[in-house]
Amino acid sequence: MGSEPFIAVRKLKKTFHTHEGALEVLKGIDLEIDRGDIYGIIGFSGAGKSTLLRCLNRLESPDSGTVTIGDVEITALDKTSLNGHRQKVGMIFQQFNLFDSRTVYRNVSFPLEVAGIPKARIRTRVEEILELVELTDKINCHPGQLSGGQKQRVGIARALANQPDVLLSDEATSALDPQTTFSILELLKDINRKLGLTIVLVTHELEVIKYACTKMAVIQDGVIIEKGDVRSVFLNPKSETSKQFIKINDEFLKDFVVEEGGGI
């Protein structure tokens, strides 16, 4: 028998109640993620991937099922215990979610201030993280002075402030150009190597999964329909959704092939 997974999701269900009626978004998710993996979750819009991610730190509370991280079943925690546990689960977002009125330093220091960390320790920690994400020279800048990639690096630094065990990435590269996306994925891989951090990466971009992740799951209509090593899914896709993603990706790349003597 192998070791227990670091993150275990069992029979997870979530329904949203709208004016138009009940919308069942997650329909019994089962998922296992090993410690230290960069795990990708891919699906088309509306598949339920972001809701699943938000259930991992209970920004959304599921209707039923369990989420266990390490030896803690977070779906069983009361509000006080959950607040403490969330400090060990960092999250980065597509739209950065930075405070425009705060400097880079104060954006990164915010979760440490909330946690009641002494000021001297906050400064040491912030400087350490900004060095890791290569933003030391931007410490006194405001978000409006930064590029999209730099803003996302601030978001990553803030997510790392409390030394989490898990980093959740919700479409974190979707608003970035390809070159910046590459640099952010390189940063995440570097963080994974240096800190041994488990990263769960939700995206609809196949190339992101292919470049950054070790294992992956495909979600469709609130159900995991395929999962495994990234290489095996790419080489031998079993679900129609996986085949469709790969076909779209291949067609897109074909459109940008420059023929000899020609141009794009």
Q: Encode pLDDT of 61-76 as tens digits.
A: 999 999 999 999 999 9
Give the amino acid at 140: N
What's the first-to-final CA gap in the chain, in angstroms? 53
CA distances to 39, 45, 129, 232 from 241, in Å: 18, 12, 38, 15
Q: Is the dihedral of CA 117, 122, 126, 129 positive or negative?
A: negative
Q: What is the pLDDT of residue 252?
A: 62
Nearest Cα neighbor of 206 from 51, 92, 50, 41 is: 41
Q: What is the DSSP letter of 178?
A: H
In percent, the amount of the chain with pLDDT more than 70 equals 94
Q: Virtual CA dihedral for 245, 249, 255, 261, nearest 10 degrees? A: -150
* C-alpha to C-alpha distance for 202 and 41, rounded to whole angstroms: 5
Does domain 7-88+164-255 bear CATH number 3.40.50.300? yes
Average model confidence (pLDDT) across the chain? 91
What angle (nearest 5°) sits at the alpha carbon of residue 236, between those of residues 28 and 241?
Answer: 45
Residue 82 backbone dihedrals phi, psi, to 5 degrees: -65, -40
pLDDT tens string 167-222: 999 999 988 898 999 999 999 999 999 999 999 999 988 889 999 999 999 999 99
The pairing of strands 64-69 and 223-229 is unpaired
- The structure's pTM equals 0.90
Q: Say whether pLDDT at 81 is over 80.
A: yes
